[in-house]
Amino acid sequence: MADSIPIPVITAFLTRCGEVLLLKRSQRVGTYQGRWSGVSGHLESGDALAQAWIELGEELGVGPAQAVLETRGEPVLVRDEASGRSYLVHPFRFALSQDARPRLDWENVEMRWLPPSEIPSLPTVPGLVEVWERVAF
């Protein structure tokens, strides 16, 4: 299968008290329905951090008053052999304040706080473990 041109995307992880927030994608999104992921979205401009803040606001109602950027990782090339797609994932990790209460929009149907060591045991979007490792504690 020929390599596709990588699709630029962001993945933002929220952490609190040593746990990471993962989201279960709804049936209404275009790809990877029912899979677990971080906050994600297409990189629509050249500014990955600005896009991460946009996605945090849209998907969870979280903004700079509720979260602080802790780490920006090097981009990760993720290939999904099943679909033939490639993604250039720009990873971020944000610390969520104790009083913040994220809320889901239509893109996700469930959220779960868990130790990062449990990520590999879930059915995730392609490359999520590697993306997390770029910004892990």
Question: Is 2 a domain residue?
Answer: no
Q: Is residue 69 a contact partner of residue 62, using CB atoms and an 8 Å limit?
A: no
pLDDT band of 4, cuts 50, 70, 90: confident
| Host H or E run for residue 11 | strand 7-16
pLDDT band of 1, cuts 50, 70, 90: very low
Q: How far is CA 122 from CA 52, 59, 62, 99, 115, in A?
A: 23, 20, 24, 27, 12
* Each residue's pLDDT tens digit, 68-95: 999 999 999 999 999 999 999 999 999 9
Q: What is the pTM of this model?
A: 0.95
Question: Is 91 a domain residue?
Answer: yes
Question: Is 55 a domain residue?
Answer: yes
Question: Is 130 a domain residue?
Answer: yes
CATH number at residue 73: 3.90.79.10
Question: Is 69 a domain residue?
Answer: yes
Question: Is 41 a domain residue?
Answer: yes
Question: Is 23 a domain residue?
Answer: yes
| Host H or E run for residue 119 | none
* Each residue's pLDDT tens digit, 93-120: 999 999 999 999 999 999 999 999 999 9
Report, as an integer, the average pLDDT of 122-126: 98
User: How many structural domains compose the chain?
Assistant: 1
**Domain that includes residue 103, residue range:** 7-135
pLDDT band of 3, cuts 50, 70, 90: low
